[in-house]
Structure 1
Amino acid sequence: MKSTSIHPTQSNAFAEIIFLFGPTGVGKTELLLDLDPKKFSVINADSIQVYRYLDIGSAKASLEVRHSIPHHLIDIKDPWEQFSVGEFIAYADQAVASIHQEGKIPVISGGTAYYFKHFLYGLSEAPPSDEGVRLAVAQRIEQNGRAWAYEYLKQIDPISAQRIHPMDMYRVSRALEVYEKSKRPLSSFSLPDTPRNGMHPLVIGLMRESDQLRTRLALRIKQMFDQGLEDEIRSLLRMGAQMSWPGLQGIGYREFFQAMEHGEWSRSIIADQIERNSRLYAKRQMTFFKSFAQVQWMNADEKGEILTAIQRYLHPDCMSLQ
């Protein structure tokens, strides 16, 4: 599937759409299994799960789960390809239209906060990508290093630097490109403040107590190694994987490549780094998600209440599940 063939739909028939988000490890996939596949389809909003071959480290929904309830926007890119938020909006728009045509309800589920924000409000007014400027920025990063790029971003655009992970070179580069082209920080460009296409989604945020989330993250990381995460990394290396691949910027992958840069491959050290980075990421996710308006925050274990909230959104006059 080529991104060049994808264009945002102009349909304003976003009659019913559900956002389901929360920090990594909170239990989004578990909840999706409780939805009726005859009524709902899922649109993935995780920036790593869009990539083929990145299954275990991304905690991608298993084939069994995807057979239980249809999923869109999984395995649509190769890990060496870029996948921008603009492409996400275009793909998701088409998926929403397709799901509505089937008479079903789209559920956008994941943990990539800016996917949700830009899907709801659209892209910022920042200038479009310029290939010449982008290549010039890439050359400077190659000459001076990734650490230099992030430090430079902190100088010219501290707000964007706070939002972007130091290892996310795609978005660091994009912020530097915008500054070089416009002489304005990326964070200075405003987002639209009204939903696109007349959307009125049900926005559900899943949460857990911090200790419980930490325990779940530790268990999940252990399960990833037990399921063969190291073998997945070795398979990627046989494909010629490089640390610069966009798909390998995600937690669960970059830690291996950072370790190899230092000539180390210790399972325990890498696992500790993945767990630490996952905890920090979960905190950043919650900070971002809490900036959203009209979110119904619900405990991930309260599945009955969550399903009731969905029922009330779809059928306002019906106050109980059938």
Structure 2
Amino acid sequence: MPKGQIIKALSGYYYVQEDETKRVWQCRARGVFKKRKISPLVGDYVQFDPGQNEEGTVTEVHARKNELNRPPVANVDQALLVFSVNEPAFSAILLDKFLVHIEQARITPVICLTKVDLADHPEHQYPEIKAYQDLGYPFFMTSATTQNGIEHLTEYLSGKTTVFAGQSGVGKSSLLNAIDPQLELETREISNRLGRGKHTTRHVELIPLPKGGFVADTPGFSQLDFTGIEPETLTEYFIDFEPYRPQCKFRECLHQKEPKCAVKQAVEDGHIAQHRYQHYIQFLEKIQDEKYRRGF
């Protein structure tokens, strides 16, 4: 049977791009996947039966190197976390939620700040920005309106499969249109009453880039939970904690109330950003509360 990759999922159909011919086949998934509790994802490498009447069947899903649940996509090289300077305003706590989500999936995070034309000095307006630059995350400042930073970002995305993720209304579709004007993705004005964007992307799809590679344009969303993350593992997804964790007195230190905690000392000494530690504690308490509520 031919092999290919799912490049779009919509209304129960999976659109598979065949490896050899690059033809895209419309397929359904075999019923056996439900019994195995397997849900094919955009980005999956699969085998399929082309079938008849222009409708094929996905028969096998190959092992994934990684996957995300929100957005539902697999086998990506990096995640571009898109945040705007204004409309909606930059949110460090939401960025840290995304970073935890992406670090947990073992996917390389890339941070992109959009709409920089709406602020003269974004790093002055939001001093937290410097902390992420200092952590070594790839960091881009862009504007779809002025084209600032677009060429540099385009080169960085070339040849890779990148998932675009971020809060609704930050301009993901506008950014993609700036990278490749032929896309003409739908965009909408920000809802002034709510101060946030409406969902403009309706499904997950791998979109080919002009210089090679794909981007996964994904539905906008602003809420992330911590399902699957234990209190003891949350610290692993804060990379700025890593140099100090081995120095804590207790092996499974949560950096919360424990004495002789090297992470808390690093915060006091200015080696870890105060807002990052505060967000960690907020996330930790939420995970602990949820675990208590479930009776574990």
TM-score (norm 2): 0.24
Structure with max Cα Rg: 2
Query: Larger % of strand: which?
Result: 2
Query: Larger % of helix: which?
Result: 1
Higher relative contact order (CA 8 A, sep 6+): 1
